[in-house]
Copies of this chain bind each other. A is one copy, B any other.
Amino acid sequence: MPVRGLQSTIQVGNTSANLPAASGDVYRRSMHGYTQDKDAYLKRLRRVEGQVRGLQRMVEEDTYCIDVLTQISAATRALQAVAVGLLEDHLGHCVTQAIEQGGPEAQAKVKEAAEAVSRLVRS
């Protein structure tokens, strides 16, 4: 796990960080905000998958167009809600860490998050 090396180095002596001392578990929690809620996200995504399969059934059964559209709106909203949740976790973990470590990386993370928001808003 060489990529973690750098980060655990960075954490050393970082007294103000709200991150526990390094460990395999820590790495994930620190790199991926959503990892601790992974099961919840998987559950939500499986529900979206079920909605999309439901859409296929609706089309197969010639369901009235407007009802299909209503279901597409519901699936879209569910996907967007997952995205907002992931973004919040991302800000609270990955971006927070980068800011705690300071430097140009922090600014890059903020820019990257804003670009992700821009894509979400436009999709």
Give the secondary structure class of A's interface: helix
Q: How many copies does the complex hold?
A: 4
Docked Cα-Cα span, A17 to B102, in Å, equals 8
Docked Cα-Cα span, A92 to B116, in Å, equals 15
1/0 per residue A46-80: CB within 8 Å of B? Answer: 10110011011001101111101110111111011
Hey, which chain B residues are within 8 Å of A102, CB to CB?
1, 3-4, 14, 16-18
Structural contact, A59 and B73, CB atoms closer than 8 A: no
Hey, which chain B residues are within 8 Å of A123, CB to CB?
73-74, 76-77, 80, 122
Structural contact, A64 and B31, CB atoms closer than 8 A: yes
> By the criterion of a CB under 8 Å from any partner CB, how many residues of chain A are at the interface?
76
Residues A32 and B62 in contact in the complex (CB < 8 Å), given A3-B102, A110-B96: yes
A82 at the interface (CB under 8 A from B): yes
- Out of B32, B41, B62, B66, which one reaches A116, CB within 8 Å? B66
Structural contact, A114 and B49, CB atoms closer than 8 A: no
Hey, which chain B residues are within 8 Å of A22, CB to CB?
none
